[in-house]
Structure 1
Amino acid sequence: MMEGITIIVLEEILMANGLTVLMMWFLLFCRRKNRESLHVGDKIYDGIAIVNLVGALSETIAFLVDGKQFTGSRQINYISNSICFIGTVSMGMLWCMYVELRIYRNYKRMVQKAGVEIFPWLVEVIMVLCNLFGTGIMFKISGENVYQRTAGALVGYISLVIYFAYSIYLVYHSKKQGVNLNFFPVIYFVGPCFAGVVIQFLFYGITSSWVLVAVALIFVQMQSYAESLYMDELSGLYNRRYFNAVLAEKKIASQKSLYGIMMDVNDFKCINDNLGHSTGDKAICTLGNILIRSIPDDGMAIRYAGDEFIVLLSGVDTERVLATMEEINHNLSRFNESGIEPFHLSVSMGYTEFGTEDDAETFLMHMDEKMYEEKRKYHMRKKSAGLENKV
């Protein structure tokens, strides 16, 4: 058996979880209303908020039916508590995915890491599903419909601690790499959540975890406004300010090799002129998503200005740079073949290495020269084919 001190005050549970539902609904409403575009990171953050909302509702139902005898009450008790267990560990996993994506802005890296991050979640889900068959691995429901935690419930708490610790590691490791510039608010989330988990573990009946997660999510949202200083909202990528800051950090640290790929969207003016500026904005957003999915796990995508983008690759060789450029072109071709938008996208790309004596201006100048060489070749090909001014 695994029971802490039992303190059940139904009024406190209803108030805390009701406040959680209200905060999560308001947070989701405000986020949907105020953002220009929806990126993968936004979906994950919203997913955490939705899981928290569902968890608070499920826990409330569990406490309301606990000890009550009516048709289906025992099944409701099992299902609602099972949702709470799965929801708790799901938030931990989603949080790690969110941290990974927000720091590195790299979809491919996030997917690769998710293969490992999902393991504690799978263990918890399998145990909960087994528990539904009356094994009592996680918790038991007595004949009087009374809930009681068992030793297996500890697995969920351990999984959460692992997730929290891993997210902290991600942040501080990225600082050493010069990727994260001290703005990601990991402690704002982990601190309140960890406090809620400890209280819930020690004092059964005090519903603190869901409401503290809600508070933590609002903390992260408030702090993320500071992050907007380094973000381009439309593309979902880092911006020019972040690019300059990263180069300054790299210069000071004199770390491993750094390559830059500069690209310019071909015929972007034609998209704006022929299809409208809102479609042009959609093209920028689409390219941002394509870059996030194209770059390797040691890459970083940046919207530098207008329709100019930069990909930074750290600790790679020329072969890896060329492979990345090929991957970008491949994914652009797949998008164009899909026909899901009224425009086609292609880019002219040039790359260079950040030299030991280079500064940001020199690095940019070399990238720019290489990119415009390709741009001139692109226009010459169009001119010879008689395709000027076509989107």
Structure 2
Amino acid sequence: MSPLFNLESIYVANIIGIVLIVVLIICNLWRLQSKTPANKNLVLMMFFALTSCIADPISYTMKGIPGLMPKIAVYATSTWLFAANMLAVLCWVRFLGYYLNGSITRKHKIALNTIIVAGVTVLIVNLFHPIVFSIDENNLYERKSFYFFFTVIDYLLVINSLFTYYRSKQRGGVLKFFPIWVYIVPIIAGGIIQSLFYGISVIPTSIAISIAGILASLQNEMIYRDALTGVFNRTYLDYQLKKFAKRPKLKITGIMLDLNDFKRINDEQGHSVGDEALIATTRILQKGVGSLGSVVRYAGDEFILLINTQDDEQIKARIEKILYLFEKYNADNEKKYTLSASIGYHKLDLKNENIDTFINTIDSRMYENKKAFYATHKVMDRRKR
């Protein structure tokens, strides 16, 4: 029986995917060395895409060749392709959650894990009772009824990423943005084409193209990112404040934080430990702010949080959560230093003040809090005037 696919076109499509992923890895080694949760999920996406581009042509090559080893190869590679495609989309959802909000809620993790466990369970069942695909005596592949179960899973995860984005956008307003179409359009297009036309293999390459779009978007954003911590920098703050000036009705609150006794950490334990403390601080602030706003490294150990609310209860809740996370970090980590911060906040009111007044106000309120801290702690106030 002649195969219902063109092996040469499958080789070409997957070789393009492999080359694209390898180039992306080489050009982004500096980024991928950063062990942030978002970057870890990017690395996993690349791994799943690369291995899929390798497994796909192997699977098609072995189809129709009689013998036990070709049959095992077709089963193994086909099973991996279903799993890898599903896990790649999962990593996209996780990447988006960490990138936009700094963390993923426990309920969200449980929901995602439930979907993945269901998919893996079906693949295991398929090894003993073909319900997703079968391999006949001629080692030819045939789709079964549960093939579209994985199509549903993949699209459920894509829809979940849309929900994650728009929920974050709804809460964070102008402070939250990512061009999610650069991932979703290639994935949806590839999924539709491959589902409708058996013998056309484009999903692994579509994932590679989506990853390229993500990395290109991140590269464009680098001008707004702090090199050490990965959070936004002062250039981003200036950019947003200029936007706020054109939209005076925005309900934005600024929270300034300055680490207490940070100079002592640098002086006594070295700048590498100081850098570690700054990175830990940004993780705390990202979790504290969540989907409601953005974290900006303003200068040295000073940070400004922009949150999309002027509700007193929500502001206080965010500050209390940040203070709790500092305490939890100190209790959970056996470090030679402790982290704490002086905090001041102010609601932006561009009808009655300008941007300079806004910054000066949160700085002054933070400094008042810092004076109170140093009044009760026997350490040197480096901002004493």
How far, CA to CA, are the matches of 1:295 and 1:24 in structure 2?
Answer: 33
Pick one of 319, 323, 334 that aligns with 1:329. 323
Letter of the 2:64 partner, please give it.
G
Q: Does 1:145 align with 2:139?
A: yes
Is 1:160 matched with 2:154? yes
Note the C-alpha offset of 1:93: 2.3
Offset from partner CA, 1:322-372 (integer Å, 9 cap, x none): 333232233223333344555432211122323363443333222112210
Provide the C-alpha distance between the structure 1 equivalents of 2:68 and 2:184, rounded to a whole number of angstroms.
40
Matches within 5 A, 1:33-72: 33=30, 37-72=34-69
2:360 counterpart residue number: 365
- Confirm or deny that 1:355 pairs with 2:349: yes
TM-superposed deviation, 1:35: 6.1
Q: Is the 8 A contact 1:36 1:234 kept in 2?
A: no
1:236 aligns with 2:233: no
Q: TM-score, normalised by structure 2?
A: 0.85
What is the correspondence of 1:64-143 to structure 2 with a 5 Å cutoff? 64-102=61-99, 104-108=100-104, 112-118=107-113, 120-134=115-129, 136-143=130-137
The answer to whether the 8 A contact 1:7-1:206 is kept is no
Q: 1:107 and 1:316, CA in 2 relative to 1: closer, same or farther beyond 3 A?
A: farther
**What's the TM-score, normalizing by structure 1?**
0.84
* Residues 315 and 130 of structure 1: CA distance in aligned 2, closer, same or farther (over 3 Å): farther
Q: Distance in 1 between matches of 2:108 and 2:238?
A: 28
Q: Are positions 1:344 and 2:341 aligned together? A: no
| 1:115-264 alignment runs, 5 A limit | 115-118=110-113, 120-134=115-129, 136-168=130-162, 171=165, 179=173, 184-249=178-243, 257-264=251-258
Amino acid at match of 1:287: T
Match of 1:310, SS state, is strand
**Superposition RMSD on alpha carbons, in Å?**
3.1
CA distance in 1, matches of 2:174, 2:49: 27
1:202 shift after superposition: 2.3
Structure 1 residue 158: Cα displacement: 3.2
By how many angstroms is 1:138 displaced? Answer: 1.4
SS, match of residue 319 in structure 2 = helix
Check 1:276–1:389 CA distance in 2 against 1; reply closer, same or farther (3 A cut). Answer: farther
Structure 1: distance between partners of 2:267 and 2:33: 21
User: What stretches of structure 2 of length at least 5 have no aligned partner?
Assistant: none
CA distance in 1, matches of 2:316, 2:358: 18
Aligned-residue offset at 1:47: 1.3
Note if contact 1:239-1:302 (Cα within 8 Å) is conserved in structure 2: yes
Shift of 1:302: 2.0
Structure 1: gaps (5+ residues): 1-5
Task: Please name the residue that 1:3 is paired with.
Answer: none
Task: Decide whether the 8 Å contact of 1:168 with 1:187 is kept in 2.
Answer: no
2:80 partner amino acid = I
Over 3 Å counting, the alpha-carbon distance change for 1:33 and 1:253 in structure 2 is closer
Moved more, 355-364 or 143-152: 355-364
Q: Percent identity?
A: 27
Change (3 A) 1:244 1:123: farther
The corresponding residue for 1:13 is 10
Specify the code of the residue in structure 1 equivalent to 2:45. Answer: I
- The 10-residue stretch of structure 1 (254-263 or 83-92) with the greater mean CA deviation from structure 2: 254-263
Matches of 1:37 and 1:305, distance apart in 2:
21
Q: CA deviation at 1:48?
A: 0.9
Q: Secondary structure at the match of 1:17?
A: helix
Residues 108 and 297 in structure 1, CA contact (< 8 A), matched pair in contact too: no
Local SS of the residue matching 1:237: coil
Q: 2:22 matched to 1:28?
A: no
1:11-70 Cα deviation digits (max 9, x unpaired) = 333343234234323423432335673311111111111111122223233223323333
| One-letter amino acid of the structure 1 residue matched with residue 76 of structure 2 | I
User: What is the distance in 2 between the residues matched to 1:172 and 1:63?
Assistant: 39
Distance 1:229 1:175, change over 3 A: farther
Q: Cα offset for 1:254?
A: 5.8
**Distance of aligned partners of 1:130 and 1:123 in 2 relative to their CA distance in 1, 3 Å threshold:** same
Amino acid at match of 2:365: K
- Structure 1 residues 222 and 74, CA gap change in structure 2 (3 angstroms): same
Contact 1:92 1:160 in 2 (8 A): yes
Cα distance change, pair 152–36 in 1 and its aligned pair in 2 (3 A): closer
Distance 1:255 1:153, change over 3 A: farther
Q: Per-residue deviation at 1:122? A: 4.2
Deviates further, 85-94 or 308-317: 308-317
Of the candidates 285, 294, 307, which is equivalent to residue 301 of structure 2? 307
Q: Distance in 2 between matches of 1:189 and 1:271?
A: 42
1:288 to partner: Cα distance: 1.1
Deviation at 1:376, TM superposition (A): 1.0
| Equivalent position amino acid for 2:125 in 1 | C
Of the three residues 377, 384, 391, the one matched with 2:372 is: 377
Distance in 2 (CA, whole Å) between partners of 1:249 and 1:177 is 18
Residues 167 and 246 (structure 1), Cα distance of their counterparts in 2 relative to 1, 3 Å cut: farther
Which of these residues, 285, 288, 295, is aligned with residue 282 of structure 2?
A: 288
For the residue of structure 2 that corresponds to 1:61, the secondary structure is: helix
